[in-house]
Chain A
Amino acid sequence: MLRRARYELAGRAAFPILTALEAWQHRLKRSRKQPGGGPFGPPLESVRRLKELMAHHYFQGRYADGAVPVAWVTSGFPVEVLRALGFHTVYPENHAALCGVQRLTPEYSDVAEAAGYSRDLCSYVRTDLGSVLSSKTPVGRLPRPQLLACCTNICQTVLYWYRELSRHLGVPLVLVDTPFVHGTASAHQLAYVKEQLEELCLVAGRVSGKPLDAERLVEVTRTAREGSRLWGECLAASRARPAPWTGIDGFFHIAPIVALRGTEACNGYYRLLRDELEDRVARGVGGLKEEKHRLLWDNLPVWFAVRRFSTLLAERGFNFVSTSYTDAWAEAGVGIDPDDPIGSAARTYTHVILNQDLPNRLDILRRLSRDYAVDGAILHSDRSCKPYSIGQVDLRERLAAELGIRVLLLEADHNDPRSWAAEPGENRLAAFMEGFE
């Protein structure tokens, strides 16, 4: 009871005070700052709200365990069931990315490696396991989970990762296994996933201490679908010339659809962002001051160098107007149907980009390239993400040949700067850009 009150208080009273304080500091800082400068257009006003939203999520999370049921969840997990049961969800991938941006991965990875985990494992995993084993996190504190919820639709790695979390934390693991799709999923694949979702309802219900309310699930499913639609509208704003924001902005603004999917807070935020983007389009305000070339990005961001990449590109008028990574959350989520929350979730979550064959991936890249009228593409060959990276050599050749665009395969890692050769990498990037001039 007391913990619940503290959790609510943290979200409703303490956090707004802290936010107001931060906003005051922000205004003070801005008033001292010289205006203009740099290749970017005016910053998005929504950014501050985004920071508040995510900070609120993590701040309230500090007080979640013992107050509400807590689950740690993979990004592609059918979260609607958990949301309907009142779980506070933590996304270790999102947390790891946050650590990546702050360049904390080497420190946390060292801890994981000292415990015997190979440096060849995914850097999200090493970041997260290092954080768990060292009890260090840049967000103050992560609530201890009562349930680990893993879906294999983004990779098999998450199963091994969550199995290790389960071993270290002594917490049950619930798995939604989505066999890989060649072409379209077979009836028995979908039946298998649906049956596991039904099992999930029972297991998560037991952990939360209450049965799943079917009405609530319908409501959450509707909200989640709306969230994906709104996120899609935000991304689609970049079809305009100039694009009203940068693809790099998109990498950061993806956080709510990943971590807060199925909540009104998420949807409210994307309405705000969409309206701002549409307003910028109407006024001809771009993410860059001068947009000369439009690019497509494939694979996860290089979190620790996002700002650096963005600046290097922007200085020469290059903008990522579309990314297959951010698009994935817009593509998949609109398939869920409040009239059939479980059946449609089985279908939707099985057909996400990384759980489908390479012809499907090529189709997505072709479509994004055409819809967003790109002149070139950068395929991030990500040492830490094999399912996203295997096949890119062929994809590069096909995209270049079929669409007549320049395509660069750039090897890096989404979280570990030790796997990124900055000088040769930036040199390749510069040579790629020179090809457009």
Chain B
Amino acid sequence: MRNQEIRTQRERHGRQAVAVLPIHYPKELLTALDLLAVELWGPPGPPRGDDAGRVQSYVCSVVRNALAFLAGGHADSVDGVLFPHTCDSIQQLATLATDLGGWTKPAFTFLHPRGADRPSARRFVEAELRRLAGTLEAFSGHALTEERLAAALALHREVDAARGALLDARARLPLDDTQLYALLRRGEWRWPADHLVELEAALATLAPEPVQRGVPVLVTGYVPEPAALLATLNGAGGYVAADDYAAVGRRVVRATPTPAADPWRALVDRYFAAPPCPTRGADTGVRMAHLAALAERSGARGVLVHVLKFCEPELFDVPAVKQAFASRGLPVLVLEGELEGALSGQAVTRLEAFGELLQGAPGAA
């Protein structure tokens, strides 16, 4: 599907494609320059090539699989790769693949400031955005006018608003979790305007009353892979009522103050308005308050922490998440995965047991 989309965008609109590593990046810049972003979350399953062996087995499967994928020629349909400096491992992948072999087409980086929103970080982000924009302009052959940037910002605000509305009204959405995430994750590779159309179509199906009959669960983690996890959760009597996946909810910018007239300023504001994410060094207290608010708003009766093995940013927050929800009396299940192609039997059993626990909890349906 991704390759088909890349071909279509190239043939119909003359758009080049850029593969993008997780997690956060200024997609608005790519859209403004008519570049199709195609995100590379691994991909899941076994590594597609021997180059995975160039990275030690104690490094996360996103990095190992991505190196194998890039070096094995599986991403040759794109014209360049963007490496956001998400963590130590992806940061190292950026230099390993581009400097020591594995990727020979153009490569771009985006450096994140860590920690709190502060004036020095804002100035850095703006300069870094302008630097990246400059290299992407040269790559795409388009000039980034303020009008183009403003239009891209407006489009991505609409996309986020629609994604946010779907997640917020989850209980009234007549889709199971597999269908919901298939829709939301198409945003990782579809042209944003086309993705917006399908999001709006889904919004039009919202029922006036809740249609989800399962136990509402808050899910936090890296990426909903393998997708079978969602069907298993549904089968166990739960459904995702609130999402804090890095790949999904953590990238939906919900704050909608009056946007700044200057598009660069507006872009910086959007960057800092994103939900707290450990990979960007978010304050733990702020993040726990955000999760608690998500749980409360959605009526979640349990929390699923779905982490990727060896993913330090996520793993560091696990004790705080457990503590935060234990004090609220919400059961927490920590499930660790490795982007495996299928859900392990052990994981299925644990999810089923968690579902039983939730259904037996006070107030359960």
Residues of chain A having any CB pair with chain B under 8 Å = 115-118, 120-122, 152, 155-157, 159-161, 163-164, 167, 175, 177, 179-180, 182, 186, 188-189, 191-192, 195-196, 199, 357-359, 381, 383, 386-387, 389-395, 398, 411
Contacts and interface: CB of A to CB of B under 8 A. Distances in A.
A179 B280 CA distance: 12
A118 B320 contact: no
A160 B312 contact: yes
A43 B281 CA distance: 45
Interface-central residue, B55, B59, B112, B323, by most chain A CB under 10 Å: B55
A115 B56 contact: no
Given A120-B309, A121-B315, A160-B313, A390 B123 contact: no
Contacts of A196: 120
Contacts of A155: 88
Given A157-B88, A393-B55, A163 B114 contact: no
A163 B284 CA distance: 7
A391 B100 contact: yes
Contacts of A191: 123-124, 127
Nearest to B127: A188
B265 interface: no
B283 A390 contact: no
B109 A182 contact: yes
B278 A389 contact: no
B72 to A, nearest CB: 16
Interface of B: 53-56, 58-59, 63, 85, 87-89, 91-96, 99-101, 109, 111-116, 118-121, 123-124, 127-128, 131, 278, 281, 283-285, 309-310, 312-313, 315-316, 318-320, 322-323, 336
A163 B56 contact: no
Contact of B316 (A160, A357, A381, A383): A160
Given A179-B111, A390-B92, A188 B100 contact: no
A387 B131 contact: no
Given A160-B281, A177-B281, 5 more contacts: A117-B315, A152-B114, A386-B59, A387-B91, A395-B100
B309 A163 contact: no
Nearest to B112: A179
A73 B115 CA distance: 17
B57 to A, nearest CB: 9
A358 B120 contact: no
Contacts of B312: 120-122, 156-157, 160, 386
A357 B309 CA distance: 25
Nearest to B95: A357
A436 to B, nearest CB: 25
Contacts of B123: 188, 191-192, 195
B319 A188 contact: no
Contacts of A167: 284-285, 320
B124 to A, nearest CB: 4
A180 B85 contact: yes
Nearest to A392: B56
Contacts of A175: 114-116, 281
Contacts of B95: 182, 357-359, 391
A5 B151 CA distance: 66
10 contacts: A156-B281, A163-B284, A177-B121, A177-B281, A188-B131, A199-B118, A358-B92, A358-B95, A390-B89, A393-B55
Closest 3 CB pairs of A and B: A116-B319, A188-B127, A390-B92
Contact of B92 (A152, A359, A383, A386): A386
Given A116-B322, A387-B92, A391-B100, A163 B316 contact: yes
Given A160-B278, A394-B96, A177 B88 contact: no
Contacts of A118: 315, 318, 336
A116 B88 CA distance: 22
A390 B127 contact: no
Given A163-B284, A164-B284, A156 B320 contact: no
Contacts of B100: 358-359, 391, 394-395, 398
A343 to B, nearest CB: 15
Contacts of B54: 393-394
A357 B94 CA distance: 9
Nearest to B307: A118
Contact of B315 (A120, A189, A390): A120
A275 B101 CA distance: 45
Contacts of B92: 358, 386-387, 390-391
Contacts of A383: 56, 58
A414 B58 CA distance: 14
Contacts of B278: 160
Nearest to B130: A188
A395 B101 CA distance: 11
Given A160-B313, A177-B113, A192-B113, A393 B53 contact: yes
Interface-central residue, B99, B310, B315, by most chain A CB under 10 Å: B99
Contacts of A386: 58-59, 88-89, 92, 310, 312
Contacts of A393: 53-56
Contacts of A199: 118, 120
Nearest to B119: A195
Contact of A115 (B93, B99, B118, B319): B319
Nearest to A166: B284
B7 to A, nearest CB: 31
Interface-central residue, A157, A163, A390, A391, by most chain B CB under 10 Å: A390
Nearest to B336: A118
A163 B63 contact: no
B84 to A, nearest CB: 11
Nearest to B54: A393
Given A157-B88, A186-B131, A117 B124 contact: no
A188 B96 CA distance: 24
A194 to B, nearest CB: 9
A3 to B, nearest CB: 31
A117 B322 CA distance: 11
A156 B114 contact: yes
B260 to A, nearest CB: 20
Interface-central residue, A189, A195, A391, A392, by most chain B CB under 10 Å: A391
A115 to B, nearest CB: 6
A68 B159 CA distance: 54
Contacts of A164: 284, 316, 319-320
A122 B58 CA distance: 11
B73 to A, nearest CB: 18
Contacts of B55: 390, 393
A325 B309 CA distance: 27
A351 to B, nearest CB: 15
Contacts of B313: 156, 160
